[in-house]
Structure 1
Amino acid sequence: MSKSNSLLKYFDSKYPDSPKYRQSFSKYLPYLESVLNSSDLYKKNLILERLIIPERSIKFRINWVDDKGKVRVNRGYRVQMNSNLGPYKGGLRFNKDVDEDTFMFLAFKQIFKNCLTGLPLGAGKGGADLDPKNLSDNEMMQFCQSFMLEMHRYIGQLTDVPAGDMGVGSREIGYMYAYYRKINNVFTGTMTGKSVENGGSKLRTEATGYGLIYFVNAMLEKMGEDWKDKKCLLSGAGNVSLHAAEKILEFKGKVLSLSDSGGVIYSKKGFTKKDLEKIKKQKLVEKLSLEKIAASGDFEYKKGKKPWDFEADIALPCATENELDESDAKKLIENGIRIVAEGANMPCSSEAIDLFQKKKVLFVPDIAANTGGVYVSGLEITQNATFQNWGTKKVDKLLKETMENIHEKCISEGQEKNYVNYEKGAIKYAFKRIAESMLNDGVV
């Protein structure tokens, strides 16, 4: 039996019912195996076998009462995956469809993402099976307080530092962190993604989207090109996609699409800055659907469609897992796509990624492309620990430099003849860093 097959068999024996985690692990495995084969010590010390099992996986019940006085019950999760490089670090996601498999695959990816930042950060992920839609502010506060009533015993600034993710923004972080302070009677950097007024970092909300574009900008510079008139397709209409779109316009590129669960809003000539400001306000503040937004503006709306049917140079999937499949990849390639960079976590199926790489479309995985968010979270920890609040220009400068550094790290391990395999480069560079740290720690 080959080493790859034996590792997959080992994985399946540990996680027989984890399709998302298995998809992520099996996609990484060929690159991980090439690193394992470079060192007998990695194999002897079972580095990968240890890495795929979390140091701790916590499940708990969340009881709370809604505005009608009805008792509600949800499940909470925190997967504390690896702490070799620092305290567990990763977001909290509130979504009705999450389960332990969701957080296992996200926490596994977080190891590699955090390694690439260069910061001393471990990896974790968590959240709850809550549908945040249509909850009042009071109901969300009640839920967040009940969530933290259990969660507080497992986290701390030197232990585990959660942040926001899908369904968890600065409002939810604020409710949770305030309750953490009340329970523990301390003010520390135990959570990131806080509002600036409550100790958060400037640009934390924008960081993932901005960082994504800074990475693609580094790619274009390597190709001897710039953003002028580059046509970009974006999915999603949340913080990542909207702030990525904002930065694209700043660089003189064209944003042709945004999407939500209902469909796609499209502009053949590209959204203007004024258009984008209006969409941001209506989507993020007024919580309108793109269908309603399109009806109030000069935009085309395609109900039930994805944004991958149009001609473009760059595609940035920023919505959710497996939103871009093999058939979408074929359409993009036929329409002349040259760069695909993942703004969301695992938005491209394995088959889509394989096709992009086969056709020499430059593909950047989530662990490299959307690292800006966790990097600025790391800066927030530093600012809290030193009782400082850095200016926007300083944070933006550090973010841009870091995304450019991550780009170089990917090239160092992913350069092939006439092609850069960014997926291979990101995974190999990160795995070498965590593997060496685990060797240095011995078997613990």
Structure 2
Amino acid sequence: MLDEKLQPIFAEVLRRNPGEEEFHQAVREVLDSVGAVIAKHPHYAEDALIERICEPERQIIFRVPWTDDKGKIHINRGFRVQFNSALGPFKGGIRFHPTVYLGTIKFLGFEQTFKNALTGMPIGGGKGGSDFDPKGRSDREIMRFCQSFITELYRHLGEYTDVPAGDIGVGGREIGYMFGHYKRITNRYESGVLTGKGLAWGGSQVRTEATGYGATYFVQRMLETRGQGFDGKKVVVSGSGNVAIYTMEKIMELGGKIVACSDSSGYVVDQSGIDLPLLKEIKEKNRARISEYAKAKGSSATFIANGRVWDVPADVAMPSATQNELNGQDAQTLLKNGLIAVGEGANMPSTPEAVRKFLDAGILFAPGKAANAGGVATSALEMQQNASRDSWTFEATEKRLETIMHNIHDRCAEMAETYGSPGNYVLGANVAGFIRVAEAMRALGIV
């Protein structure tokens, strides 16, 4: 049950944000944990602090007109939610996907606020995107869309104001088009205004790998608390994009075997272990569907159209695709098949029912705001390198990432212990993130 002091706050969130179910879900999860904090420290419920945390500082919605290769004009909608800047400039990715609407961006921005706080770095929380679908579009069409998108958004950005990065549908290509147009409009080479840039023009080593590597480091640290590791473990990873691929890569380095992965068309099972170079060629180079992997791999791999990747037995599950992709029934199936740990590489990929089942079963569960914080942490390292006109080696940057993820794990574990629920990383992550943001907001006054 939600703490009685927080019930009217959540009711007001529902009233002010009708129909935004993902945002409601994200807020409810944090408020469920915050009850333990205000029971010990009632001052966190004063001065409408929690109400202010639940309300974005700024919500920007704009029209994005663009022309396809046949000369047809299209209109999409763009968003940027600048959620909380108590700790530093707004920081969070841009998502291009047809399902994007204001509620999506608000939930992501809210989650980003606490995720960024967990990194210990001076960055606030924000998120942006559009309902534009890049699939099937030519490079020129994507360039024209990105240029139109940034023509409006640029006026709200700056290295001390708001620093976007990539997300679903936005990779190095899209960041390049947006940065190039930003540079042209402003007549400034302001490297720190966008992260996820190419290595040749201000990007950071390890940024491409960071979210997947970071999630793996977090889960490895969790497993170590029970005297285990990835060595010899069977792992299922949802998705086959950037986060999923580099999660698989690091798990393989640590001795795990990836037996299944997916995309929106279905999943592949390969009991001999996913051939990562082949998967990279199909997904990153050819931008093809995952069914092509099974065709290329031969008899050891099977493609299941429109299936649930969670039906595949595994020791560890790494949901790395999108929100609410793993439901209660999936959780039940995974647990029945011997699951011991979950690491969320995506943002809020497990439904509340699934999370409850995992926590009730006593398995290790790493929530996304902690486990996938490696991406934004390395973005902050990119900003640091840009500010000092410096460039670090891959090895040095990866070591920083590993240290940050271990620190996040240890902080979440400490907070779970302090607030009466040892091993509950959901509680630990929410409490640790909340306290850091709340303390900064109290220091800055009612703004």
Q: Quick one: distance in 2 between partners of 1:49 and 1:37? A: 17
Query: Structure 1 residues 58, 4: CA separation in 2 closer, same or farther (over 3 Å shift)?
Result: same
Match of 1:297 in 2: 297
- 2:210 equivalent to 1:207: yes
Match of 1:172 in 2: 174
The answer as to whether partners of 1:360 and 1:419 remain within 8 angstroms in 2 is no
Q: CA deviation at 1:5?
A: 2.1
Q: Quick one: distance in 2 between partners of 1:227 and 1:56? A: 42
The equivalent position to 1:441 in structure 2, one of 424, 440, 444, is: 444
Q: Quick one: distance in 2 between partners of 1:268 and 1:324? A: 22
Q: Quick one: distance in 2 between partners of 1:418 and 1:359? A: 14
1:294 alignment partner AA = A
Query: Structure 1 residues 417, 228: CA separation in 2 closer, same or farther (over 3 Å shift)?
Result: farther
- 2:391 equivalent to 1:389: yes
2:290 alignment partner AA = L
Match of 1:306 in 2: 308
Q: Quick one: distance in 2 between partners of 1:245 and 1:262? A: 19
Match of 1:343 in 2: 345
- 2:271 equivalent to 1:268: yes
Match of 1:184 in 2: 186
Match of 2:63, SS?
A: strand
Q: Quick one: distance in 1 between partners of 2:269 and 2:19? A: 39
Moved >2 Å (runs of 4+): 36-41, 415-419
Q: Which moved more, 1:218-227 or 1:113-122?
A: 218-227
Q: Quick one: distance in 1 between partners of 2:328 and 2:231? A: 29
Match of 1:406, SS?
A: helix
Q: Quick one: distance in 2 between partners of 1:413 and 1:277? A: 40
The answer as to whether partners of 2:421 and 2:427 remain within 8 angstroms in 1 is no
The answer as to whether partners of 2:260 and 2:312 remain within 8 angstroms in 1 is no
Q: CA deviation at 1:270?
A: 1.9
- 2:35 equivalent to 1:33: yes
Q: CA deviation at 1:259?
A: 0.2
The equivalent position to 2:136 in structure 1, one of 124, 134, 137, is: 134
Q: CA deviation at 1:4?
A: 3.1
Q: Which moved more, 1:409-418 or 1:327-336?
A: 409-418
Deviations 1:109-151 (A, max 9, x none): 0011000000000110001110111110111110111111100
Deviations 1:51-98 (A, max 9, x none): 111100000111111111111111100000000000000000001110
2:114 alignment partner AA = F
Kindly report the root-mean-square deviation, in angstroms, between the aligned alpha carbons of the 2 structures: 1.3
Structure 2 spans left out of the alignment, 5+ residues: none
The answer as to whether partners of 1:228 and 1:251 remain within 8 angstroms in 2 is yes
The equivalent position to 2:252 in structure 1, one of 249, 252, 256, is: 249
TM-score, length of structure 2 as denominator length: 0.97
Q: CA deviation at 1:185?
A: 1.0
Q: Quick one: distance in 1 between partners of 2:346 and 2:379? A: 17
The equivalent position to 1:153 in structure 2, one of 142, 152, 155, is: 155
- 2:247 equivalent to 1:220: no
- 2:114 equivalent to 1:112: yes
Q: Quick one: distance in 2 between partners of 1:222 and 1:384? A: 37
Match of 2:287, SS?
A: coil
Q: Quick one: distance in 1 between partners of 2:365 and 2:28? A: 18
Q: Quick one: distance in 2 between partners of 1:191 and 1:36? A: 37
1:240 alignment partner AA = V
Q: What are the within-5 Å matches in structure 2 for residues 67-82 of structure 1? A: 67-82=69-84
Q: Quick one: distance in 2 between partners of 1:4 and 1:443? A: 19
Q: CA deviation at 1:263?
A: 0.9
Match of 1:240 in 2: 243
Q: Quick one: distance in 1 between partners of 2:272 and 2:284? A: 24
Match of 2:435 in 1: 432
Q: Quick one: distance in 2 between partners of 1:5 and 1:158? A: 35
Query: Structure 1 residues 401, 118: CA separation in 2 closer, same or farther (over 3 Å shift)?
Result: same
Query: Structure 1 residues 27, 417: CA separation in 2 closer, same or farther (over 3 Å shift)?
Result: closer
Structure 1 spans left out of the alignment, 5+ residues: none
The answer as to whether partners of 1:111 and 1:123 remain within 8 angstroms in 2 is yes
